[in-house]
Amino acid sequence: MTESEVIQGFAENNGVQLYYETRGHGEPLICVSGGGGDAGFFTKLANYLKDSFTVITYDRRGYSRSTRPQANNFNIQDHVADMKAVLHANGYECAYILGNSAGAIIALETAVRMPEIIKKVIIHEPPVVNVLQNKKKYLRFMTKTYNIGLRYGSNLASNWFNFSLSLPFSVFKHIPKDFQERMTQYKNNEQLIFVELLGLSRYVPDYKKIIDHNVDIYLASGKRTMKKKKYYGVTSPIIAKNLKCPFIVFPGHHLSFLDQTELWGNKLKQILLD
């Protein structure tokens, strides 16, 4: 594979076709995107890391070029099995794993269900609201977002949801144009609001199983996220404390792999290659 080459393909899991992209060389690193995202969300990061890792990115089920199942219910075990299928399609039994946002919840559950596929895993800003003392406030927020979608449509609900992230407006100019086009073409917001949102908000990590599996796991949140005490980021030190594992502060905010790619990528390399 040349430095500029990207291998595109599909993995299969129980009839679901999962689009993936692979670039680079070295130990495998699979990146799991958050709600609404797809493989393209990690393009800048993957291109930066390709000299250090074989970087695998993919569209999760229901998003963009991957199959949206007819019986389209959220079952987190399906997403864990999907990740394994993508790894196997690329010829790997295990890998470094990076999960961001909803992808961080999936990565966390991988430590429960399939620890054997994990070399090291970084859980970046998982919105596990059930670990928060004021969880009822955020569970109500998720339900309200869902109901806005029912009444006014998934795009407005997604905008409402994204507003809660308090991201700097400058980050949006770093979102790849082709990803924005797929968001509209494949109606990704429908998958986020009507299929994943409430299911993800009910997630509770099984601390005992993760500890028993002795997974090499790191919880992480951005410096800006922690300073602003955002609900999706303050979960990380809580989970880390329960797992007795490291909590790492990354540069920036929820999506800083887009606008602070080099700093963010260097921090990731430091953890994975240490």
Instruction: Please give the model's pTM, rounded to 2 decimal places.
Output: 0.96
pLDDT at 1 over 60: no
Helix, strand or coil for residue 173? helix
How far the first Cα of the chain sits from its last, in Å, is 26
Torsion on CA atoms 82, 84, 86, 92, rounded to nearest 10: 180
Q: How many residues does the chain have?
A: 274
Residue with tokens 């999907």: 82
What is the average per-residue pLDDT within 130-140?
98
Pick from 126, 130, 120, 100: nearest CA to 274: 120
Report residue 4's pLDDT band, with 50, 70 and 90 as the boundaries: low
13-45 pLDDT, tens digit per residue, is 999 999 999 999 999 999 999 999 999 999 999
Q: What is the DSSP string of 220-272?
A: EEEHHHHHHT-HHHHHHHHHHHHHT--EEEESSSTTHHHHSHHHHHHHHHHHH
216-265 pLDDT, tens digit per residue, is 999 999 999 999 999 999 999 999 999 999 999 999 999 999 999 999 99
- pLDDT-wise least confident of 85-89, 145-149, 169-173, 208-212: 169-173
What gap in Å lies between CA 92 and CA 42, rounded to an integer?
Answer: 20
pLDDT of res. 256: 97
Tokens of 164: 């809660």
Q: What is the DSSP string of 102-138?
A: HHHHHHHHHHHH-GGGEEEEEEES---GGGSTTHHHH
pLDDT of res. 93: 98
CB 42 within 8 A of CB 6: no
pLDDT of res. 274: 86
What gap in Å lies between CA 157 and CA 145, rounded to an integer?
Answer: 6
pLDDT of res. 2: 46
Sign of CA dihedral 73, 141, 121, 20: positive
92-109 pLDDT, tens digit per residue, is 999 999 999 999 999 999
Sign of CA dihedral 115, 210, 31, 122: negative
Report residue 72's pLDDT band, with 50, 70 and 90 as the boundaries: confident
Report residue 3's pLDDT band, with 50, 70 and 90 as the boundaries: very low
What gap in Å lies between CA 85 and CA 10, rounded to an integer?
Answer: 10
What gap in Å lies between CA 209 and CA 222, rounded to an integer?
Answer: 27
Sheet bearing 217-222, strands edge to edge: 7-13, 16-24, 53-58, 27-32, 95-100, 118-124, 217-222, 247-250
Q: Among residues of the chain, what percentage have pLDDT more than 90?
A: 95
Helix, strand or coil for residue 12? strand
pLDDT at 155 over 80: yes
Tokens of 241: 């404390």
